[in-house]
Amino acid sequence: MLGMSDLSGFEVVEDPSAAEVIVVNTCGFIGPAKEESVETILEMARYKDEGACERLVVAGCLSQRYVGQLSGDMPEVDHFLGSSDMLRLGEILADKGERLMVGNPANYTIRATDPRRLTQRGHSAYVKIAEGCNRLCSFCAIPGIRGKQRSRPIADVVAEVENLVEQGVVEANLVSQDTIAYGRDLAERPNLAGLVTGLARVDGLRWLRLHYLYPETLSQELLDALRAHEAVLPYIDMPLQHASDSMLKRMRRGHGGRRVYDVIERLRNALPDMVFRTTFIVGHPGETEQDFGELCELVRWAEFDHVGVFLYSHEEDTHSGEMKDLVDEEVAKARQRKLMTLQRTISRKRTHALIGTEIEVLVDGPSEESEFLLDGRWWGQAPEVDGKIVLANGTARPGEIRRAIVTQAADYDLVGDLLSPEGTRDVPSPSLD
């Protein structure tokens, strides 16, 4: 949508009171996301009275899911765009839009030729490799909102990444709803291993990271592709959701707890330096203390690097949304706190183990902590979700990949000294106290 506004000759302003058109891109798959989206729409609607706003546009998944209700309840909204109607923002900006522009999400898949403006720091980009999902996880409303899986051809993803690299991107983070199933919907049946291999050959792409891998038995071909190329990071982001057989069955994940342990072991054997990120849901209907205990046991055993713990959200039009044996909200919140506390201890152990080691870091830019420091991430830290490394001792450009020595560690963040390109420390490290 930012790309469309550029194409339409609009300038993006930071201050909403100065904007003639305000677009709220919403999320709508769980309760807290819906609340945040509605609050933001109402907050932005004020600028129709108090600011320059002439048109308020609501786009994205909330709009796709509840357009009937929202269009009745929110007369202040001028246009609704669905989750796959982003490019139709051009019609709105040209004053040719209707009020309801919510189409069938299955009709659109992003292409390399679509306009795009990077919203991350200029050297890092997310790349969407497919839209939609063919799985049946019982708690999940996403397939209903985003439609069946539509993968992009390998050549199209490669073309986009080549474009991004030309603009200065060195790190590409592949995303989709179900990355491991990439290509299964296309007639030529390309697969993730082929895509990774194609992208690893893009000259100038230094870091390639894969997000949202479903815990399937990983093919040898994929494991080989993850090992074969220097640019492909041994960073695995695999949402496991739970560990107990009964919960995984109720969640309709298509496998039991044994699979979870097996997949982790297989990955560790193939990628000894692996950094592993995962997410879990606690408080799903029917979750007992024993189920939760099994989840804690997995977390203790696996010693993951990064873990997100989400509270179950009871959603209409999902299979779990019909279930009656709900877990008390306070119990669910207590489980979330307990699991996060357990993980914090593990994370601290993992980050402290890095002290004294030399690691590759990507410099993001000046530090939020001090103008004399730089913020960066080592390859085990994905942008926005995994913490950062604060770099002392030296200068570097944003987007540079350098080596650093870890000198201090907190629960999730690190502190390090930049090394000169020759591998030596430039000057003594300033005290950070």
Q: Exposed, middle or buried: residue 96 (CB in 10 Å: 0-12, 13-18, 19+)? A: exposed
Cα–Cα distance, 132 to 115 (Å, whole number): 21
Q: 349-374: buried (b, 16+ CB within 10 Å) or exposed (e) per residue?
A: ebbeebeeeebbbbbbeebeeeeebb
Q: How far is the CB of 273 from ligand SF4 (least distance, A)?
A: 27
CB of 143 to ligand SF4, least distance (A): 5
Nearer to ligand SF4, 142 or 231 (CB): 142
Q: Which is nearer to ligand SF4, 214 or 292 (CB)?
A: 214
Minimum separation from the CB atom of position 175 to ligand SF4 (A): 11
Which of residues 177 and 393 has its CB atom nearest to ligand SF4 in the complex? Answer: 177
Helical H runs in 201-328?
Answer: 220-228, 245-250, 257-270, 289-302
Residues that bind ligand SF4 (CB under 6 A): 133, 135, 137, 140, 142-143, 177-178, 214
Q: Could you tell me which residues come within 8 angstroms of residue 87 by beta carbon, excluding any fewer than 6 positions away?
A: 4, 108, 114
- Minimum distance from CB of 131 to ligand SF4 (Å)? 11
Contact indicator for 207, 176 with CB cutoff of 8 Å: no
Please, what sign has the CA dihedral across residues 155, 156, 161, 163? positive
In angstroms, what is the minimal distance from the CB of 139 to ligand SF4? 7
Contact 64, 103 (CB under 8 A): no
Q: Of 306 and 388, which has the nearer Cβ to ligand SF4?
A: 306
Q: How far is the CB of 237 from ligand SF4 (least distance, A)?
A: 12
Nearer to ligand SF4, 27 or 74 (CB): 27
Could you give phi then psi for residue 212, rounded to 5 degrees? 60, 55
Nearer to ligand SF4, 129 or 140 (CB): 140
* End-to-end Cα, the chain, rounded Å: 43
Query: Which residue, among 250, 208, 257, has the nearest Cα to 231 in the 3D structure?
Result: 208
Pick the closer one to ligand SF4 by CB: 216 or 411. Answer: 216
Choice between 121 and 284, CB closer to ligand SF4:
284
Cβ at position 140, least distance to ligand SF4 in Å: 3
3-state secondary structure (DSSP) of residue 55 = strand
Question: Which are the contacts of 100, defined by CB distance < 8 A and separation ≥ 6?
Answer: 67, 71, 79, 80
Residue 374: C-alpha distances to residues 93, 133, 172, 266 (Å): 39, 39, 21, 36
Determine how β-strand 414-418 pairs with β-strand 389-392: parallel
Q: How far is the CB of 404 from ligand SF4 (least distance, A)?
A: 35
Shortest distance in whole angstroms from residue 178 CB to ligand SF4: 5
Q: Which is nearer to ligand SF4, 278 or 351 (CB)?
A: 278
Rounded-to-5 percentages of helix, strand, coil across the chain: 35, 20, 45
Instruction: Supply 46's token pair.
Output: 């004020």
CB of 137 or CB of 243, closer to ligand SF4: 137
**What is the nearest approach in angstroms of ligand SF4 to the Cβ of residue 191?**
17
